[in-house]
Structure 1
Amino acid sequence: MAGEITETGELYSPYVGLVYMFNLIVGTGALTMPKAFASAGWLVSLFLLVFLGFMSFVTTTFVVEAMAAANAQLRWKRMENRQEEDDDSSSTASDSDSLVQDNYERAEKRPILSVQRRGSPNLFEITDRVEMGQMASMFFSKVGVNLFYFCIIIYLYGDLAIYAAAVPFSLMQVSCATGNDSCGVEADTKYNDTDLCWGRLRRVDVYRIYLAVFTLLLGPFTFFDVQKTKYLQILTSLMRWVAFTIMIVLALVRIGRGHGEGHPPLADLSGVRNLFGVCVYSFMCQHSLPSLLTPVSSKRHLTRLVFLDYVLILAFYSLLSFTAIFCFRGDSLLDMYTLNFARCDIVSAAAVRFFLGLFPVFTISTNFPIIAVTLRNNWKTLFHREGGTYPWVVDRVVFPTITLVPPVLVAFCTHDLESLVGITGAYAGTGIQYVIPAFLVYLCRKDTQLALGPRAANQHRSPFHHTFWVGFVLLWAFSCFLFVTANIVLSETKI
């Protein structure tokens, strides 16, 4: 029942879970998607978007199945522990001869595999929140667990670098708006980082000043524990939807009036690399599914709801990107799509221009400390030894420092958001979205058969339960890795 309090927190209805999942997936990646669409061509972009959305849905069902299998194993271990405790307590009341005889008779009567109990659908009910790290420790070898944490850490570093670059870049674009009326970037104007902004200060200097202020204000949160509040989540979600709605409506109005400037090509393979990374990044949710789906009160039609979510997200991404590429010329689209609405001929109201221009600042700034703390805790888990503790300096200084410094340095060197999102999604994102779920579901199936018997029925089994799909996902991930790497090497060679 919605509103019920459990160990996983307050339960909510499946449709509330659908909204939460939608909000989780539709984030920063959506703001970089229009430029990637324009670079790769609308037909190629649409095909790749649909295909990557489908692949993400497949691996999402893999993670849900692994969550159910992990819950079943934890539940069965608790049942066995209770049985052993009952056996021990009853045994202490008898003498040694009767103890041997009773234990022998009990062992003879107990079935080797309790298929009927173990095959019960309730055994696979997802009630315990089992995070991906815990599932990795249950089903992976020690090497696999270390590789899992390495992949998560690289992805979080990319996330922080994107956030650290997006906020100063947005502030720089807004504050360096040209013209006496501060109407922003003109349609035919191209700016370089060496162009002047404030007096003798170049645009890149202003960007780095904002980056320093951003680091000084939000960096200290890395050294403490931060929790996302419910009200902060509601506020950022509301701002996100207001901003997206305004941009889509403004683009549609401009196109409807015949003022659309965009004439995107059908296909341009040179832009596929960044588009691939952006699309993978924009469908990223697998690492947060346990926290997101476990509190759903009724999971009877969970797969259908997830599928509906993906259909809605595909429709939204398509609407946002197609209105963008037909409203603006491809060479005028900025990395952060909101900044294209800083022009007076697009938006006459100054308040709306500033709201859209500063939208990434508000939403990303609230997420940066949370991602930083998550990365710091993953570093601690990776190097943690059973029963060991870290010295105060290592715990409170070293781990936060190695968390904060690398992404800030990357943001200091570049604010090319499209490339940052593309590389993060293409490499670490491929591992989290494809490789890890594929291995998780494959190994959890083998483990479940050994522990619970071949007739154990997982009601949350993926519709893509044939081993072919596991192999196909891994083959696709490997192909993507090779393609992106080869594309980067060829690009560098041409330069």
Structure 2
Amino acid sequence: MAGGITETGELYSPYVGMVYMFNLIVGTGALTMPKAFATAGWVVSLALIIFLGFMSYMTTTFVIESMAAANAHLRWKRREKKKADDDADSSPGVSDVEDDDVVIRGASETRPILSVQRSGSCDSFNIEERVEMGQMASMFFNKVGVNMFYICIIVYLYGDLAIYAAAVPVSLMQVTCFSSGNNSCSGGSSEKHNDTDPCWGSLKRIDAYRIFLTIFILFLGPFTFFNAQKTKYLQIITSLMRWIAFTIMIVLALIRIGKGQGDGDPPVAKLSGIPNLFGVCVYSFMCQHSLPSVVTPISSKKHINKLFLLDYFFILGFYLLLSFTAIFCFKSSSIMDMYTLNFTNCDIIKIAFFRYFLGLFPVFTISTNFPIIAVTLRNNWKTLFHREGGTYPWLVDRIIFPLITLIPPVIIAFTTHNLEMLVGITGAYAGTGIQYIIPAFLVFCSRKDMRLIFGSHFVNKHRSPFKHTFWVFFVFLWAVFCLMFVTANIILTETKH
């Protein structure tokens, strides 16, 4: 998953929105997908990624419908508040201490009145105000639901930070240790190395990894204590680098396969690799939590569901092209957790610049996202424990929250640098919550809220094509099945070991 679009001051066309959506989804997860395909088998991988792409699109339409409902709810609430204020001005008997929210809730529970019925028109559901998922959760969920939402987001962001914290040192270790060896142009980075293999003199590869991890945290960790904003130009640069890297890898793999130099031997199906493949695919289709930032600035949203469906076809095609060229170009046992590292030797690329560009590509792109994710996680912690009207002491606000944000992912990264496993677990657990459970609950509760406000005949022009309640419960059942399956597999694997 790539970083979300945060700058929404200017409107853009639906086609620009498609590009932003594409860049939002295609990110770090794509680099771990070839390894997951090679582990699970190409037939199983093909079937699973198509199905998970379909499920992700369905819940994307759920979030868009919920955004429209949230906009309608806010418009109705303002109208009711204005009407209550006007009534209070013309009725001196109304208590001065009466709470506006009580008046609003009372109105929704006792009537739809004429003004409310008129407000249920299609225009009420225009998506003009950006309503983030946390705000929608506060609007449609009870207190327990809101807390569960923030816990799920926090766990996911911890997983993101752990993946980023491990990916950068792994890339640096692979490039520098490989380059310093005597066989830098004969062995190839596609060969498997042990952590105990030598790197620089008496230092082992794991020592190099930990040194790079320490440097990474010392340089980027302090941003957690301040605020960071992703600029438009930084976003353009990282997107450009990403597409240059992906294009080079796909073209080189196709050339090797076309010349008969591909030595890939992917299995047809390998059930033991399915749980991890599931987690990687869920992580790689993650976009639901950032949809408000992408969808709201789109100038015309009339055909947004169809445009995003086309986007999903492009994304699915790209993932299949990247992964299938990888598994038929390289042996399954030699595909690296971070796919870019398969291209950092002279046998694959003769030009040194391109070898180092691909090897260090995750370093540049991930490093720009790490402070953004860290600040987002810190702010979510603050929101979770926020009390109305209360403020945090300086020590808690500026020291404690940044530390609890930074320390857990650093510990995880020092413990393991198995990126495939980190992406798989993050996607399988927190990803299931964000991509399936939360959107399903949002659309279910928002529909209930709209019926309460506007009556049973309201028309949400941005409603999901999957409007029947069956699809909501289908998503719930699928999410529960996935969690049970992945957990059972992990338990069985640990028992065997």
Give the TM-score normalised by the residue count of structure 1. 0.93
Tell whether the 8 Å contact from 1:30 to 1:282 is kept in structure 2 after alignment: yes
Tell whether the 8 Å contact from 2:42 to 2:268 is kept in structure 1 after alignment: yes
Q: Which amino acid aligns with 1:378?
A: N
Question: Which has the greater radius of gyration?
Answer: 1
After TM superposition, the structure 1 stretch with the greater mean CA deviation from structure 2, 128-137 or 184-193, is: 184-193
After TM superposition, the structure 1 stretch with the greater mean CA deviation from structure 2, 153-162 or 343-352, is: 343-352
Deviation, structure 1 residue 187: 6.9
Counterparts of residues 327-406 of structure 1 (less than 5 Å): 327-406=329-408
Superposed CA offset, 1:266-291 (max 9, x none): 10001111100000000000000011
SS of equivalent residue, structure 1 residue 402: helix
Change (3 A) 1:129 1:258: same
Q: Which residue, out of 450, 472, 485, partners 2:474?
A: 472
Aligned position for 2:289 = 287
Tell whether the 8 Å contact from 2:189 to 2:343 is kept in structure 1 after alignment: no
SS of equivalent residue, structure 1 residue 10: coil
Aligned position for 1:199 = 201
In 2, Cα distance between the equivalents of 1:307 and 1:189? 39
Aligned position for 2:135 = 134
Change (3 A) 1:232 1:8: closer
Tell whether the 8 Å contact from 1:174 to 1:184 is kept in structure 2 after alignment: no
Alignment RMSD, CA only?
Answer: 1.6
In 2, Cα distance between the equivalents of 1:418 and 1:481? 18
Q: Identity of aligned pairs, percent?
A: 74
SS of equivalent residue, structure 2 residue 178: coil
Q: Which amino acid aligns with 1:24?
A: L
Deviation, structure 1 residue 112: 2.6
Tell whether the 8 Å contact from 2:195 to 2:205 is kept in structure 1 after alignment: yes
In 1, Cα distance between the equivalents of 2:276 and 2:43? 15
After TM superposition, the structure 1 stretch with the greater mean CA deviation from structure 2, 114-123 or 326-335, is: 114-123
Q: Could you list the runs of 5+ residues in structure 2 that have no partner in the other structure?
A: 1-6, 93-106
In 2, Cα distance between the equivalents of 1:187 and 1:166? 16
SS of equivalent residue, structure 1 residue 262: coil
Change (3 A) 1:164 1:188: closer
Tell whether the 8 Å contact from 1:113 to 1:452 is kept in structure 2 after alignment: no
Deviation, structure 1 residue 453: 1.2
In 2, Cα distance between the equivalents of 1:120 and 1:362? 48
Deviation, structure 1 residue 90: 5.3
Aligned position for 2:77 = 77
Change (3 A) 1:20 1:188: closer
Counterparts of residues 78-157 of structure 1 (less than 5 Å): 78-89=78-89, 112-114=113-115, 116-157=117-158
Aligned position for 2:278 = 276
SS of equivalent residue, structure 2 residue 199: strand
Tell whether the 8 Å contact from 2:112 to 2:453 is kept in structure 1 after alignment: no
Deviation, structure 1 residue 456: 1.2
In 2, Cα distance between the equivalents of 1:424 and 1:81? 42
Q: Which residue, out of 229, 240, 251, partners 1:249?
A: 251
In 2, Cα distance between the equivalents of 1:8 and 1:255? 43
SS of equivalent residue, structure 1 residue 390: coil
SS of equivalent residue, structure 1 residue 456: coil
SS of equivalent residue, structure 1 residue 197: strand
Deviation, structure 1 residue 230: 0.2
Q: Which amino acid aligns with 2:62?
A: F
Tell whether the 8 Å contact from 1:118 to 1:453 is kept in structure 2 after alignment: no
Superposed CA offset, 1:390-429 (max 9, x none): 0000000000000001001100010000000000000000
Tell whether the 8 Å contact from 2:29 to 2:284 is kept in structure 1 after alignment: yes
In 2, Cα distance between the equivalents of 1:15 and 1:177? 42
SS of equivalent residue, structure 1 residue 205: helix
Given the alignment of the two structures, is residue 491 of structure 1 paired with residue 475 of structure 2, yes or no?
A: no
Aligned position for 1:225 = 227
Change (3 A) 1:465 1:184: farther
Tell whether the 8 Å contact from 1:8 to 1:128 is kept in structure 2 after alignment: no
Change (3 A) 1:296 1:324: same
Superposed CA offset, 1:176-231 (max 9, x none): 01543633853774310011100110000000000000000000000000000000
Aligned position for 1:457 = 459
Tell whether the 8 Å contact from 2:178 to 2:189 is kept in structure 1 after alignment: no
SS of equivalent residue, structure 1 residue 160: helix
Q: Which amino acid aligns with 2:280?
A: V
Q: Which amino acid aligns with 1:465?
A: K
Change (3 A) 1:285 1:189: closer
Q: Could you list the runs of 5+ residues in structure 1 that have no partner in the other structure?
A: 1-6, 93-106
Tell whether the 8 Å contact from 1:29 to 1:281 is kept in structure 2 after alignment: yes
In 2, Cα distance between the equivalents of 1:321 and 1:147? 35
Superposed CA offset, 1:430-449 (max 9, x none): 00000000011001101110
In 2, Cα distance between the equivalents of 1:339 and 1:467? 45
Q: Which amino acid aligns with 1:459?
A: K
Aligned position for 1:35 = 35
In 1, Cα distance between the equivalents of 2:286 and 2:186? 32
Deviation, structure 1 residue 9: 1.3
SS of equivalent residue, structure 1 residue 399: helix
Superposed CA offset, 1:273-325 (max 9, x none): 11000000000000000111001010000100110110000000000000000
Change (3 A) 1:191 1:8: closer
Deviation, structure 1 residue 79: 1.6
Deviation, structure 1 residue 111: 6.8
Aligned position for 2:236 = 234
Tell whether the 8 Å contact from 1:139 to 1:443 is kept in structure 2 after alignment: yes
After TM superposition, the structure 1 stretch with the greater mean CA deviation from structure 2, 113-122 or 353-362, is: 113-122
In 2, Cα distance between the equivalents of 1:218 and 1:189? 31
In 2, Cα distance between the equivalents of 1:242 and 1:249? 11
Aligned position for 1:3 = none
Change (3 A) 1:492 1:315: same
